[in-house]
Each structure stands twice: as structure tokens, then as C-alpha cells.
Amino acid sequence: MPKLRKKPHVISDLNDINTELIPLKELADRELASIYGLTGMIYTPHLDAYMQVCIKKAEILACLKKQKILPLSEVELISAALDSIHKRVKNNAIVEYKGNNYQRRFSPLKLSKSGKSVQKWAKYWLLQLSDEKIDPDWDSQVREIWPTYFLIRTVDL
């Protein structure tokens, strides 16, 4: 979970950040669609702004959950249980838990200064549907709870 700030968040903070996210999501989606297939360094101001607001939202959610104003989500509870049961599972491994299949995923979280090797990996679980595809609702919740897992950085978090 992201670090807590000194002054606790309130529910109105969550409403404010959700209002800020709506137009940024539309711009970021359009920008992402327009650069699909391109390679190299790409300037993505809308996508970057959207990710920064997503990170703020995750901090607010974490603070509200820490204060027990909001309950932990099913994704967080199941992820914590799977992490404790399967500590050394490899990337793309599939495990069964309470009748559902979950796939372990790793994403690069921190690159070396040269950008050639990964120094730190983000670890998360995705729910697999019966047709072996990833549940899109589960995936969006993972991205909402831990948005920093989907940013590649060359500096410490």
C-alpha cells in the first residue's frame, strides 16, 4: 500500500479524485490508442497525468482503508491469502484457491540506470475465467489498487 500522509483522508477526497479522473481517462485512452504499435521514447502527457491521478487515488483509498472507513476489497484479501500460501510461485503459474484459478504475474517495477535489467519486480494475482482468459473486472481492480505496479521507473519508489 502507498505511504500515508500526516493528515488522514476523508471520503470527499475520494469523490474529488474520481471527478478529476474521468476526463483524464478519456484523454489517456485516446492517446494510448494513437500510439499503439509505435516504439521508442514517446511523449505521453495525458497518459502521464492520468497515471499520476491514479496514484493519488490509490493513496486516498489506502488511507481510508487503513482508517477502516472503507473495507479491504476482495482483490486485496485474496491476494494477501495467495501471497501467504504461495510465497515462491513463478511468473504465469496458475494456482487454485476456493474453486477459482489465479495466475501469478510479475511486472518490471524498477529498471537499472542503463534500463537493461530489472532491479525490482511487482507481484500480483489475476483471476482466470473458465475459458482461461483474465477477468477484466479483476484486472481493473488490481490496476486501481496498485497503479504504481504498471509504471516502469529507473529511480527508487
Do residue 21 and residue 85 come from a single domain? no
Same domain, 114 and 95: yes
Q: Quote the pLDDT of residue 77.
A: 95
Above 50 in pLDDT, residue 31?
Answer: yes
pLDDT band at 112 (very low <50, low <70, confident <90, very high): confident
pLDDT in tens, 126-142: 999 989 899 999 998 99
Residue 25 structural domain: 11-66
Q: Hey, what amino acid is at 123? A: K
pLDDT at position 155 = 40
Let me know: does 149 contact 124? Beta carbons within 8 Å: yes
Q: How many CA atoms within 13 Å lie on the side-chain side of 76?
A: 13
Helix (H) or strand (E) holding 127: strand 118-128
Same domain, 87 and 143: yes
Res 67 pLDDT > 50: yes
For residues 88 and 133, membership in a common domain is answered with yes
Residues 11/69, Cβ–Cβ less than 8 Å? yes
- By the 8 A CB rule, do 117 and 101 touch? no
pLDDT bucket at 156, cuts 50 / 70 / 90 = very low
Residues 46 and 94 in one domain: no
Q: Are residues 95 and 41 in the same domain?
A: no
In 10 A of CB 14, how many CB atoms?
17
* Cell output for 17: 479524485
For residue 105, being part of any structural domain is answered with yes
Q: Taking residues 52-76, what's their average pLDDT?
A: 91
Share the mean pLDDT of the chain.
Answer: 83
Bridge partner list, 111: 118
Looking at the structure of the chain, the number of domains it has is: 2
User: Which pLDDT does position 44 carry in this prediction?
Assistant: 63
- 103 has a pLDDT exceeding 60: yes
pTM: 0.67
